[in-house]
């Protein structure tokens, strides 16, 4: 089916321009944004920039990839669970198998949270859209930062994870098989399936593997109207 015709498109655009023309110029608006707004937006821009910088730096570093010998090879396209994993140029690429699973639910219906968070850590950020839920948890001085994500297996998002100088292995943790574990010395990253959803956890390496054993396979269900704080 044709989604639009050019006349409808033109008409919509014409009306939109009328709407824009009615707006004052940027410098005519006297509003001064609050410190909170400026701080948060700068943080948003800065965090996106630093992510890019980190990836660039990583790309220039020599390659040492350690994969546990007992593990299935992941240097070619390898279907694990319901998503595809590739490693090329030392970047682990995880992509959901969206199309073949398109008959699945399109919304998270049951939300899960970590069974145990380190002492002194609190939720700093929480957001949810129909197919993905994200949490950022940290202590006061941010020496411990944890990112926890729940998504649909069919979520069409894609992760590119630098595996240079990283230790990569599959683990069986509690009742959960094939947890992908990556430790680059600074951060531990894990991805696994539980309760029919895909979960990701990344956190400061100093917390060690113990943190995984306290949580993977032990996630608890919470009411979305009353999320953990």
Partner 1 sequence: MLNFSSTLIDTTEEKDKFEKLYHLYKKRMWYVAFQILNDPQKAEDAVQNAFIGIAKNISHIDNPDSKAAFAYVITAAKHCALNISAKDKAENLIEFETINFLDSKQEKEITDIDDKMLIISVLKKIPGAYRDLLYLYYYEDMSEKEIALLTGKRYTTVRKQISRARKAFSETLKKEGDIYEKI
Q: Are 207 and 144 in contact (CB under 8 A)?
A: yes
Only one residue has tokens 């398109």, namely 102
Using CA atoms, how far apart are residues 189 and 173, in angstroms rounded to an integer? 14
Phi, psi of 151 (to 5 degrees): -145, 165
Between vectors from CA 61 to CA 57 and to CA 65, what angle results, nearest 5°?
A: 120
Closest CB to partner 1 among residues 1, 69: 1
Candidate segments 70-78, 82-90, 114-122, 197-205, binder of partner 1 by CB under 8 A: 197-205
The binder of partner 1 chosen from 65, 81, 157, 193 (CB under 8 A): 157
Closest CB to partner 1 among residues 124, 195: 124
Asked if residue 88 binds partner 1 (CB under 8 A), the reply is no
Candidate segments 14-22, 114-122, 170-178, 218-226, binder of partner 1 by CB under 8 A: 14-22
- Radius of gyration, CA atoms only, the chain: 21
Asked if residue 221 binds partner 1 (CB under 8 A), the reply is no
Asked if residue 19 binds partner 1 (CB under 8 A), the reply is yes
CB of 55 to partner 1, least distance (A): 9
DSSP per residue, 40-98: HHHHHHHHHHHHHHHHHHHHTSPP-EEE-TTSPP-SS-EEETTEEEEEETTEEEEEE-T
Residues comprising the chain, all counted: 229
Phi, psi of 188 (to 5 degrees): -105, 135
Asked if residue 33 binds partner 1 (CB under 8 A), the reply is yes
Site string for partner 1, 98-137 (x = CB under 8 A): --------xx-------------------x-xxxx-x-x-
C-alpha dist (Å) from residue 206 to 21, 173, 188, 199 = 55, 19, 9, 21
Count interface residues toward partner 1 (CB under 8 A).
62
Binding site for partner 1 (CB under 8 A): 1-5, 7-17, 19-20, 23-24, 26-27, 29, 31, 33-34, 36-37, 40-41, 44-45, 47-49, 51-52, 54, 106-107, 127, 129-132, 134, 136, 145, 147, 149, 157-162, 186-187, 189, 200, 202, 204
């Amino acid at each position: 089916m044709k989604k639009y015709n050019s006349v409808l498109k033109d008409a919509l655009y014409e009306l939109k321009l009328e709407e824009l023309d009615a707006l004052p110029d940027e410098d005519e608006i006297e509003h001064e944004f609050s410190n909170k707004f400026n701080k948060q937006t700068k943080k948003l821009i800065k965090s996106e920039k630093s992510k890019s910088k980190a990836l660039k730096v990583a790309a220039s570093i020599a390659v040492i990839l350690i994969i546990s010998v007992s593990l299935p090879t992941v240097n070619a396209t390898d279907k694990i669970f319901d998503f595809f994993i590739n490693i090329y140029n030392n970047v682990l690429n995880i992509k959901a198998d969206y199309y073949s699973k398109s008959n699945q639910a399109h919304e998270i219906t049951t939300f899960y949270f970590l069974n145990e968070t380190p002492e002194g850590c609190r939720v700093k950020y929480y957001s949810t859209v129909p197919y993905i839920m994200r949490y950022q948890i940290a202590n006061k001085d941010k020496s411990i930062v944890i990112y926890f994500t729940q998504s649909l297996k069919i979520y069409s998002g894609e992760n590119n994870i630098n595996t240079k100088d990283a230790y990569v292995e599959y683990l069986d943790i509690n009742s959960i098989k094939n947890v992908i574990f990556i430790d680059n010395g600074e951060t531990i990253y894990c991805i696994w399936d539980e309760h029919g959803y895909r979960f990701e956890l990344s956190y400061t390496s100093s917390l060690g593997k113990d943190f995984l054993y306290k949580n993977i396979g032990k996630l608890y269900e919470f009411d979305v109207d009353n999320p953990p704080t």
